[in-house]
Amino acid sequence: MTDDAHSLKIAVWQAASAPADVEVNLAALDSAASAASSRGAELLITPEMYVTGYNIGDRVRQLAAERPLERVRGIARRHRIGIVAGGPEAPGDPGLADAPVFNAAWLIDEQGEVLARHHKIQLFGELDRALFVAGDAPATIADFHGHRIALLICFDVEFPETVRAAARAGADLIAVPTAQMEPFAFVNEHLIRVRAWENGVFVAYANQHGPDGAFTYVGRSVVADPLGRHLAAAPAEGDALLVAELDPRCRAAALTQSPYLAEVRSSLLAPGPLP
């Protein structure tokens, strides 16, 4: 956060992707971006893999080849709003059987420029492992409107080490697209605000909702502040557009009240062998 940083107004969009239907998803994203912009939000954060859907099976390479990021950039420009969105990404030729495909999240500014891209580092379950290669960058951070925004994806945020790495690298806000499913709603309700509090950061957690094949997403998207409070929370079911103001004074107060980052004795915590 820069010395002259102002409050940042963000929108967190809870929605249900149409699996493998990019056109339907982009049309809904366009409407959400318009609504968020009209409410004064500078940044819209969307769920994990929203552009293509999460549970897309063997269609992943075909959908990566469509390069949906370019369409999202156009939506950001049209509505003059930053967007965090995600989908499958193949830096090489996705048509090659051995070409890596990543579960990606992108931070795009209001001019359509890609400020950061994050590849999910902690793959969850058989679906993730069958479709994607794990990323290897624990802290993906970029400056946006005077604030330092880190990208994590779903399971990434459940590891204290990843959020701590982002906080120690200077992040003010952790933006987390997620597809959190049953029976893990306690993550939304409890863990996210603990991550915010123990690291002195804002955490914005944008979830899918409803059934998707064998999965049921739990909704309950949240924005937590550095004092461990929920600034905004969505219900378990249905679309929702949460808007929250992130005041840098709150972070300053949290870092004074709970100075974990300053006082942690990292030298005593060198990694050792697992039991």
Catalytic residue among 42, 48, 110, 198: 48
**6 vs 100: CA distance, rounded Å:** 39
Q: What is the pLDDT of residue 132?
A: 96
Percent with pLDDT over 90 in the chain: 85
Q: What is the pLDDT of residue 223?
A: 99
**257 vs 101: CA distance, rounded Å:** 42
Considering only residues 92 and 155, tell me which one the structure prediction assigns the higher pLDDT.
155
**104 vs 228: CA distance, rounded Å:** 27
Considering only residues 99 and 214, tell me which one the structure prediction assigns the higher pLDDT.
214
Q: Where are the domains of the chain?
A: 8-264
Q: Is the dihedral of CA 90, 93, 96, 100 positive or negative?
A: negative
**Assigned token pair, 148:** 């330092």
**252 vs 227: CA distance, rounded Å:** 10
**271 vs 41: CA distance, rounded Å:** 41
Considering only residues 110 and 268, tell me which one the structure prediction assigns the higher pLDDT.
110
Cα–Cα nearest to 24, from 52, 63, 48: 52
Spatial contact of 226 and 202, defined as CB atoms under 8 Å apart: yes
Range of lowest pLDDT (173-187, 193-207, 254-268): 254-268
**Residue 250 annotated in active site:** no
Spatial contact of 66 and 94, defined as CB atoms under 8 Å apart: no
Write the pLDDT tens digit of every residue in 5-52.
689 999 999 999 999 999 999 999 999 999 999 999 999 999 999 999
**Residue 42 annotated in active site:** no
Determine which helix (DSSP H) or strand (DSSP E) holds 141, and give its type and residue range. Answer: strand 140-144
Spatial contact of 210 and 217, defined as CB atoms under 8 Å apart: yes
**11 vs 177: CA distance, rounded Å:** 12
Catalytic residue among 120, 158, 198, 250: 120
Mean pLDDT of the chain: 94
**Residue 48 annotated in active site:** yes
Overall residue count recorded for the chain in this entry: 275
Q: What is the pLDDT of residue 269?
A: 75
Based on C-alpha coordinates, what's the Rg of the chain? 18
> Which residues pair with residue 246 across a beta bridge?
8
Looking at 3.60.110.10, 3.90.1300.10, 3.40.50.11900, 3.10.129.10, the CATH number of the domain 8-264 comes to 3.60.110.10
Cα–Cα nearest to 255, from 275, 274, 228: 228
DSSP state of 7: P
Write the pLDDT tens digit of every residue in 131-142.
999 999 988 999
Write the pLDDT tens digit of every residue in 224-252.
999 999 999 999 999 999 999 999 999 99
Considering only residues 151 and 257, tell me which one the structure prediction assigns the higher pLDDT.
151
**Assigned token pair, 41:** 């939000």
Catalytic residue among 42, 89, 110, 154: 154
Cα–Cα nearest to 20, from 56, 70, 64, 61: 56
3-state class (DSSP) for residue 123:
coil
Spatial contact of 258 and 200, defined as CB atoms under 8 Å apart: yes
**Assigned token pair, 114:** 């890609």
**Which residue has 């051995």 as its token pair?**
98
**56 vs 88: CA distance, rounded Å:** 10
